[in-house]
C-alpha cells in the first residue's frame, strides 16, 4: 500500500501497556486524525511513527517497507508540536529554511521554496520579519511552513492549536485543513478535541485505553458510534440500560423510561443511546414520532443551541436544539420531548 501502515503496535512503560495492538492504514495525500482523551496513547504512537520510540511489538511501514531501525532523520517525516518553538535569533525566512539548510539544499532552491510555503500559509512577503512581532496564529503558521518546507512524505502535528486562544484556534482549524489539502500533504493530526479532528481530517482513528476504538470518516463516527465509549466521548451521555426484541413490526427497544419501535434488527440486552441532537420540544403531529415527558431541571444558551437537562422517571437526560420552536416551561415544570426513534435511538448490544 502507498502510504503509512501501522500493524499491531504494542508499547508499555513499566507495568502499563500504553498501546495494545494498534492497527490502521493511511493513504498518501490523506489527512488522518488520531483522536482520544489524555493518556490514550496518541503521543506515544506519534513518537513511534517518528522513530523517537521503538515499539515492543508490531511494525510501522511506509509504502510497504518497514521503518523499524530507520533513524528519525532518514524517515523524511515532518513533526510539529503544540509549542512551536521558533528560533528567536532568526527571522521568518530563516526559520522556515532551517530544515532545507540542514539537508544541504541549494541556496536558490531554498529561497524559492521558502517563498512558496509562506505563500501557501498566507504569510507571503514576511521573510524578513522578526517572529516575535507576529501574532500567535501567525507564529504557528510559520512553524507549519517550516515543517512543510522540506516536502516531507508525512507531516505529523501534535496538538498544534492547543496553546492558542479560542478565537485564533477557531480560525486556524479551517486554514490548516485548506493548507494541507492545497499542498496535497499526507498528514497525521493528533488531538483530544473532537471538533478539530472532525473539521480537519478525512478520516479519524479514535483511541481509548490503548486500543483502536473506532475508525471512520467524521460523519460515519458521529452518526454511527460503535460503542457506549465512543458515544460518551462524543458528548452523547443519554445511555439507558435496556433490551431489544424483534417483532413483526420491527425491533422493540425497551428501557426503564419507555419502549420504542425501530426498523433496525437487534436482539438481546444492551444500552440504548438517545441522541441529544435529534429531538424537538413539544408534541409533533407525526406517526413517526415518539415522545417523552419529564421535568425541566435546567436550560442554557450557547449561541448556536439551547441545552436542556430533563429528568424522566429518575433518569437525567441532556438534549440540545437549535430552535426549540416553543416557549420553554419554568424550571421544575413538565416538558415534552418528541423524536423519531429511527433517527434518535441507537442500540449497543452487550
CATH of the domain at 266: 2.40.50.140
Residues 226 and 165 in one domain: yes
Domain span at 269: 236-349
Q: Output the pLDDT for position 31.
A: 96
Residues 333 and 265 in one domain: yes
Beta carbons within 10 angstroms of residue 132's beta carbon: 8
Residues 180 and 259 in one domain: no
Q: Output the pLDDT for position 219.
A: 96
- CATH number of the domain residue 54 falls in: 3.40.50.300
Beta bridge partners of 212: 207
Structure-block grid coordinates of residue 28: 498518501
Beta bridge partners of 271: 241, 348
CA dist 300 and 309 (Å) reads 9
Residues 90 and 128 in one domain: yes
Give the alpha-carbon dihedral of 163, 165, 169, 171, to 10 degrees: -150
Choose one of 232, 248, 277: the last residue of a domain.
232
Residues 38 and 157 in one domain: yes
Choose one of 179, 199, 232: the last residue of a domain.
232
Number of domains in the chain: 2
Based on its alpha-carbon atoms, the radius of gyration of the chain, rounded to whole angstroms, reads 24
Instruction: Collapse the DSSP code of 37 into the 3-class scheme (helix H, G, I; strand E, B; otherwise coil) and give the result.
Output: coil
Structure-block grid coordinates of residue 265: 434488527
Cα 223 to chain centroid, rounded: 14
Tell me the HSE value of 18 on the side-chain side, using a 13 A CA sphere: 21
pLDDT tens digit sequence for 81-132: 766 678 889 999 999 998 888 888 888 999 999 998 888 888 888 899 998 8
Beta carbons within 10 angstroms of residue 320's beta carbon: 18
Instruction: Collapse the DSSP code of 130 into the 3-class scheme (helix H, G, I; strand E, B; otherwise coil) and give the result.
Output: coil
Residues 183 and 211 in one domain: yes
Residues 246 and 225 in one domain: no
Residues 194 and 173 in one domain: yes
What residue ranges of the chain have pLDDT lower than 70?
82-84, 163-164, 284-286, 324-325
Estimate the crossing angle of helix 136-148 against helix 107-120, to 10 degrees: 130
DSSP state of 327: P
- Residue 337 parent element (H or E): strand 334-339
Residues 241 and 122 in one domain: no
Structure-block grid coordinates of residue 155: 507531516
197 CB-near residues (< 8 Å, 6+ apart)? 33, 35, 189, 191, 204, 218
Of 335, 304, 330, 342, the residue nearest 318 (C-alpha): 335
Residues 215 and 189 in one domain: yes
Choose one of 232, 263, 294: the last residue of a domain.
232
Residues 255 and 187 in one domain: no
Residues 228 and 269 in one domain: no
Structure-block grid coordinates of residue 201: 481530517
Amino acid at each position: 500500500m502507498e502510504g503509512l501502515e501501522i500493524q499491531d503496535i504494542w508499547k508499555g512503560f513499566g507495568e502499563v501497556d500504553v498501546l495494545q495492538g494498534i492497527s490502521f492504514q493511511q493513504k498518501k495525500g490523506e489527512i488522518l486524525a488520531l483522536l482520544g482523551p489524555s493518556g490514550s496513547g496518541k503521543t506515544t504512537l506519534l513518537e513511534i511513527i517518528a522513530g523517537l520510540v521503538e515499539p515492543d511489538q508490531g511494525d510501522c511501514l511506509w509504502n510497504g517497507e518497514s521503518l523499524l531501525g530507520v533513524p528519525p532523520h532518514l524517515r523524511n517525516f515532518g513533526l510539529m508540536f503544540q509549542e512551536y518553538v521558533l528560533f528567536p535569533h532568526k527571522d521568518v525566512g530563516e526559520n522556515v529554511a532551517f530544515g532545507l539548510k540542514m539537508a544541504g539544499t541549494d541556496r536558490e532552491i531554498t529561497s524559492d521554496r521558502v517563498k512558496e510555503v509562506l505563500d501557501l500559509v498566507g504569510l507571503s512577503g514576511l521573510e524578513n520579519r522578526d517572529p516575535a512581532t507576529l501574532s500567535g496564529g501567525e507564529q504557528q503558521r510559520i512553524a507549519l511552513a517550516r515543517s512543510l518546507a522540506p516536502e516531507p512524505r508525512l507531516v505529523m502535528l501534535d496538538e498544534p492549536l492547543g496553546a492558542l486562544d479560542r478565537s485564533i484556534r477557531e480560525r486556524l482549524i479551517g486554514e490548516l485543513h485548506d493548507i494541507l489539502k492545497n499542498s496535497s500533504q499526507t498528514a497525521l493530526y493528533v488531538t483530544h478535541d473532537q471538533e478539530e479532528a472532525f473539521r480537519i481530517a478525512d478520516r479519524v482513528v479514535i483511541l481509548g485505553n490503548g486500543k483502536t476504538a473506532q475508525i471512520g470518516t467524521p460523519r460515519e463516527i458521529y452518526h454511527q458510534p460503535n460503542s457506549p465509549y465512543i458515544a460518551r466521548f462524543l458528548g452523547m451521555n443519554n445511555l439507558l440500560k435496556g433490551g431489544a426484541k424483534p417483532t413483526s413490526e420491527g425491533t422493540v427497544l425497551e428501557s426503564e423510561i419507555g419502549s420504542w419501535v425501530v426498523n433496525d434488527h437487534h436482539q438481546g440486552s444492551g444500552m440504548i443511546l438517545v441522541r441529544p441532537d435529534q429531538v424537538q420540544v413539544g408534541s409533533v403531529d407525526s406517526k413517526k414520532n415518539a415522545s417523552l415527558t419529564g421535568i425541566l431541571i435546567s436550560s442554557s444558551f450557547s449561541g448556536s443551541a439551547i441545552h436542556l437537562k430533563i429528568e424522566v422517571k429518575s433518569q437525567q437526560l441532556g438534549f440540545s436544539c437549535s430552535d426549540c420552536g416553543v416557549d420553554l416551561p419554568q424550571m421544575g415544570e413538565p416538558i415534552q420531548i418528541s423524536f423519531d426513534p429511527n433517527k434518535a435511538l441507537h442500540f449497543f448490544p452487550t
